[in-house]
């Protein structure tokens, strides 16, 4: 059993784990991130890795970091919540550790983990949309991470959806993440409480009596209790989310959207309105399969698991046995929830019978020119 270490470097914490080939974390550590100092953050990374390495045979080390990682997976170009600017992160951490590391964007790492071991297992065309404070995302196409020319593809949170809309942290106005993120949910609830205090009674009660006291967990709690105001906030934000997913489907046509991030923990409170809006907004609806929209399964561990797995794959080169699992064609749309290989319904609409899809999937999986190192499904 080959072990790898994955490190998830966020704005507030460095979390690292030893991960086996099946994506299981067998040891884990957490430190707070000295975010203001690139050098101290790098030292914190080296420290947790050194601690996890003690007494273990580890084949590879991967870092998943919140920011723009260049295509060579070496330099952190820009990190909104950390002090890294054109930081040669790979080199700096390798100098400290005396061995090779792989650097990856954290959303890419999470998407990889979900496609290999989580909600999108068995799918080769996957988009992860992480709904947290903002919106993070990653694209897997044909079983490979899509990085773009400079490594920074997959930032749909900053696609403008409202002309002259809300001001975004990126400097533009009307970005999707200002309408479909955790921040948007909180903004909706506070605005509603200011406008209609009587209607927002429960939200205000949970928020300590003032609109500014209302945050994500309070809104989720109130919605779970059936509070109409909180449910309305989820309707609004989920609606924006679903519309955006339909726009993304217009470009990418993925088999599966995985919704991760903190807000996804609200589950169907968010996903029901998102699915409804998606189905209303999808171009050519009724004449194409509906993409699966699923909640992420690996939670906060996804970054660790994905970074470790990507590093292991990079160290091993092509893994030919992975591709074999791809020949598992999806079963009938009416067969209920997907099996352990994610081989359930690709299609939610019964108007699109699936033999063609099955054939295409099987054909795709069997294609001899497919990059075998990038297979995302595996039997365990």
- What is the C-alpha to C-alpha distance for residues 115 and 104, in angstroms, rounded to an integer? 16
Q: Which is nearer to Zn ion, 115 or 137 (CB)?
A: 137
End-to-end CA distance of the chain: 12
The nearest distance, CB 178 to Zn ion, in angstroms, is: 7
Asked if 197 and 183 count as a contact pair (C-beta separation under 8 A), the reply is: no
The nearest distance, CB 170 to Zn ion, in angstroms, is: 3
Quick check: 158 binds Zn ion (CB under 5 A)? yes
How many residues are present in the chain?
Answer: 380
The sheet carrying 85-87 orders its strands as 68-69, 76-78, 85-87
Site string for Zn ion, 174-213 (x = CB under 5 A): -x--------------------------------------
Binding range to Zn ion, per CB under 5 A, among 22-30, 90-98, 157-165, 352-360:
157-165
β-strands 85-87, 135-141 pairing: unpaired
Binding range to Zn ion, per CB under 5 A, among 94-102, 165-173, 181-189, 346-354:
165-173
The nearest distance, CB 266 to Zn ion, in angstroms, is: 23
The only residue of 66, 82, 119, 168 in contact with Zn ion, by rule CB under 5 A: 168
Binding range to Zn ion, per CB under 5 A, among 167-175, 198-206, 222-230, 347-355:
167-175
Quick check: 170 binds Zn ion (CB under 5 A)? yes
Enumerate the β-bridge partners of residue 15: 8, 30
The nearest distance, CB 165 to Zn ion, in angstroms, is: 10
Longest dimension (CA), the chain: 64
- What is the C-alpha to C-alpha distance for residues 77 and 60, in angstroms, rounded to an integer? 23
Q: Which is nearer to Zn ion, 36 or 163 (CB)?
A: 163
The nearest distance, CB 159 to Zn ion, in angstroms, is: 8
Binding range to Zn ion, per CB under 5 A, among 160-168, 300-308, 327-335, 362-370:
160-168
158-164-167-169 Cα dihedral, nearest 10 degrees: 30
Instruction: Find the angle CA(85)-CA(87)-CA(91) to the nearest 5 degrees.
Output: 175
Binding stretches for Zn ion (CB under 5 A): 158, 168, 170, 172, 175
């Amino acid at each position: 059993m080959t072990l790898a270490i994955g490190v998830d470097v966020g704005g507030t914490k460095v979390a690292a784990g030893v991960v086996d080939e099946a994506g299981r974390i067998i040891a884990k550590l957490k430190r707070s991130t000295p975010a203001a100092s690139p050098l101290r953050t790098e030292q914190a990374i080296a420290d947790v890795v050194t601690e996890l390495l003690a007494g273990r045979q580890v084949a590879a080390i991967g870092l998943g970091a919140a920011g723009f990682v260049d295509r060579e997976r070496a330099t952190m170009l820009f990190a909104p919540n950390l002090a890294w600017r054109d930081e040669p992160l790979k080199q700096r951490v390798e100098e400290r550790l005396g061995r090779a590391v792989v650097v990856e964007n954290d959303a890419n790492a999470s998407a990889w983990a979900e496609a290999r071991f989580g909600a999108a297992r068995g799918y080769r065309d996957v988009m992860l949309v992480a709904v947290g404070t903002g919106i993070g995302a990653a694209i897997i196409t044909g079983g490979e991470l899509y990085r773009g020319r400079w490594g920074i593809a997959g930032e749909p949170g900053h696609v403008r959806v409202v002309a002259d809309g809300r001001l975004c942290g990126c400097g533009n106005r009307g970005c999707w993440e200002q309408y479909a993120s955790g921040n948007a949910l909180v903004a909706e609830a506070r605005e509603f409480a200011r406008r209609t205090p009587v209607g927002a009674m429960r939200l205000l009660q949970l928020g300590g009596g003032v609109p500014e006291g209302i945050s994500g967990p309070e809104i989720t709690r109130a919605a779970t209790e059936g509070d109409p105001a909180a449910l309305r906030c989820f309707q609004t934000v989920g609606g924006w989310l679903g519309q955006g997913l339909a726009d993304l489907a217009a470009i990418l046509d993925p088999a599966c959207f995985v919704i991760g991030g903190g807000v996804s923990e609200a589950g169907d409170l968010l996903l029901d309105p998102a699915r409804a809006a998606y189905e209303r907004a999808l171009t050519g609806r009724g004449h194409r399969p509906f993409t699966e929209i699923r909640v992420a399964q690996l939670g906060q561990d996804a970054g660790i698991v994905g970074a470790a797995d990507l590093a292991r794959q990079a160290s091993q080169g092509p893994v030919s046995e992975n591709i074999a699992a791809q020949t598992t064609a999806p079963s009938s749309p009416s067969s209920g929830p997907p099996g352990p290989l994610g081989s359930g319904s690709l299609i939610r609409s019964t108007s699109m019978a699936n033999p063609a899809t099955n054939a295409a999937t099987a054909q795709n999986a069997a294609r001899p020119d497919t990059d075998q190192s990038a297979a995302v499904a595996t039997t365990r």
